[in-house]
Amino acid sequence: MGLLGTMAAVLAPPHRAGRPFIAAGVALAVFGLFAWHPLIWAGIVAALVCWFFFRDPERVPSPLRGAVLAAADGRIILVDQATPPPELGLGAEPRWRIATFLSVLNVHVNRVPAHGTVTAIAYRAGKFFNAADARAGEANERNAVALRLADGRDMAVVQISGLIARRILCDLRDGDTVTAGARFGIIRFGSRTDIFLPHGVTPVVSVGQTAVGGETVMALLQAS
% of residues, the chain, pLDDT over 90: 66
Strand intervals (E) in the chain: 67-69, 74-82, 95-102, 109-111, 116-124, 142-148, 154-161, 168-170, 177-178, 183-187, 191-196, 210-211, 217-220
| Cα 141 from Cα 137, distance rounded (Å) | 9
DSSP 16: G
The average confidence (pLDDT) of the chain is 89
User: What's the average pLDDT block by block, 10 residues per block, for the chain (224 residues)?
Assistant: 50 81 92 90 93 90 92 96 96 96 90 97 85 77 96 96 76 96 86 95 96 97 67
Instruction: Confirm if 223 and 119 have CB atoms less than 8 A apart.
Output: no
Quote the distance between the C-alpha of residue 1 and its chain's center: 21
Q: List, for residues 32-47, the tens digit of each pLDDT value.
A: 988 888 899 999 999 9
- Residue 133: CB partners within 8 Å, gap ≥ 6? none
DSSP H helices, 54-184, are 136-139
Q: List, for residues 155-200, the tens digit of each pLDDT value.
A: 999 999 877 656 899 999 999 999 999 999 998 766 899 999 999 9
Sheet holding 191-196, edge to edge: 177-178, 116-124, 142-148, 154-161, 191-196, 95-102, 74-82, 210-211
Instruction: Confirm if 60 and 215 have CB atoms less than 8 A apart.
Output: yes
- Residue 57: CB partners within 8 Å, gap ≥ 6? 8, 9, 12, 107
Catalytic residues, by residue number, are 191
Query: Roughly how many angstroms between the first and final C-alpha of the chain, as a whole number?
Result: 32
pTM of the model: 0.88
